[in-house]
């Protein structure tokens, strides 16, 4: 990601509706998992560390981040152990195995997505979980994806295929950010048409909206936590999956 994007994210992620709403949904999902009381948790690609406090509610946290700037910001939060590293071949904490690995809007940044997931699978204990989120629908590609250096957006089947090919059994895959999907998808499509027709430059949509609007969007997005994982919405701006090491891979590679 662009260094400016990390600085912007660090300022916004504690209060911006998208980050707050996603944490609400992820927290509800993690509460449904059979995690031990003192779970060992890794966040792979923690960015500036906005999820570390939430993850620390479920156990002891480790985190890795490639960007030197983002790593410094995350480390300064003083939550868990944060080291520089990258996927798939630069994962630190060599002798550590985890009950939970969180890969939250990271996979779309990586050239070697399947190799990265496989590397993380090898760091799970036999009964561990991988929780992953990615942006959905290639046809929603926009300037937002380019600004954040995304390599791709995923379809439901593409994400499922990557997880299965990496030696994981998928408990569930579902869309989320569904209530706001018609509005945001419509805006993205319109911006894309203007961009092609008139060389219109799309504005960065990762900005803090007015307080009243931010509160409304937070409430709408976070309310989906009541549905997931019991109910899978038929569409959404993002995909969420929970997977575990496949039984055929119970012996380490």
Secondary structure (DSSP) of 43-96: EES-TTSTTHHHHHTTEEEEEEES-HHHHHHHHHT--SEEEE-BTTTB---TT-
35 vs 194, residue with greater confidence: 35
pTM of the entire predicted model = 0.91
pLDDT for position 251: 47
In the prediction, which pLDDT does 158 show? Answer: 98
Q: Answer yes or no: is pLDDT of 205 > 80.
A: no
Instruction: State the pLDDT confidence band at 146, using cuts at 50, 70 and 90.
Output: confident
The residue ranking higher by pLDDT, 186 or 108, is 108
Q: Are 110 and 64 in contact, with CB atoms under 8 Å apart?
A: no
The domains of the chain are located at 3-245
Residue 129 has pLDDT above 90, yes or no: yes
More confident residue, 126 or 190: 126
Domain 3-245 coded CATH 3.40.50.150: yes
Predicted pLDDT at 232:
86
Q: Residue 192 has what pLDDT?
A: 61
Q: What is the pLDDT of residue 73?
A: 92
What single DSSP character describes residue 209? P
In which band, very low, low, confident or very high, does the pLDDT at 199 lie, cut at 50, 70 and 90? very low
pLDDT of residue 230: 84
Q: How far apart are CA 99 and CA 91, in angstroms?
A: 16
User: What percent of the chain shows pLDDT beyond 70?
Assistant: 89
200 pLDDT band, cuts 50/70/90, is very low
Q: In whole angstroms, give the CA distance from residue 104 to residue 26.
A: 10
pLDDT digits (tens, 9 = 90+) for 17-34: 999 999 999 999 999 999
Task: Report how far apart the first and last C-alpha atoms of the chain are (Å, whole number).
Answer: 32
Dump pLDDT digits (tens) for 58-70: 999 999 999 999 9
pLDDT at residue 204, rounded to an integer: 55
Q: Which pLDDT belongs to residue 168?
A: 97
The total of other beta-carbon atoms located within 10 Å of residue 189's CB is 13
* Residues facing 133 on adjacent strands: 104, 240
């Amino acid at each position: 990601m662009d260094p400016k994007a990390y600085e912007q994210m660090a300022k916004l992620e504690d209060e911006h509706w998208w980050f707050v709403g996603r944490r609400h949904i992820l927290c509800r999902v993690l509460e449904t998992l059979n995690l031990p009381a003192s779970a060992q948790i890794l966040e792979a690609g923690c960015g500036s560390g906005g999820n570390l406090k939430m993850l620390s509610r479920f156990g002891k946290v480790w985190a890795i981040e490639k960007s030197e700037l983002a790593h410094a910001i995350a480390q300064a939060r003083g939550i868990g152990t944060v080291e520089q590293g990258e996927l798939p071949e630069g994962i630190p904490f060599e002798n550590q195995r985890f009950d939970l690995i969180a890969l939250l809007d990271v996979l779309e940044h990586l050239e070697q997505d399947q190799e990265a997931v496989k590397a993380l699978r090898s760091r799970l204990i036999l009964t561990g979980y991988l929780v992953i989120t990615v942006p959905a629908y290639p046809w929603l590609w926009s300037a937002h994806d380019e600004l954040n250096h995304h390599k791709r957006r995923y379809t439901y089947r593409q994400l499922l295929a990557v997880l299965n090919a990496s030696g994981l059994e998928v408990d569930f895959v579902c869309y989320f950010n569904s209530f706001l999907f018609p509005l945001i998808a419509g805006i993205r499509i319109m911006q894309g048409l203007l961009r092609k027709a008139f060389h219109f430059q799309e504005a960065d949509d990762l900005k803090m909206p007015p307080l009243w609007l931010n509160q409304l969007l937070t409430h709408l997005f976070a309310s989906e936590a009541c549905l997931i994982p019991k109910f899978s919405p038929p569409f959404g701006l993002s995909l969420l999956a929970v997977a575990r090491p496949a039984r055929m891979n119970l012996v380490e590679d």
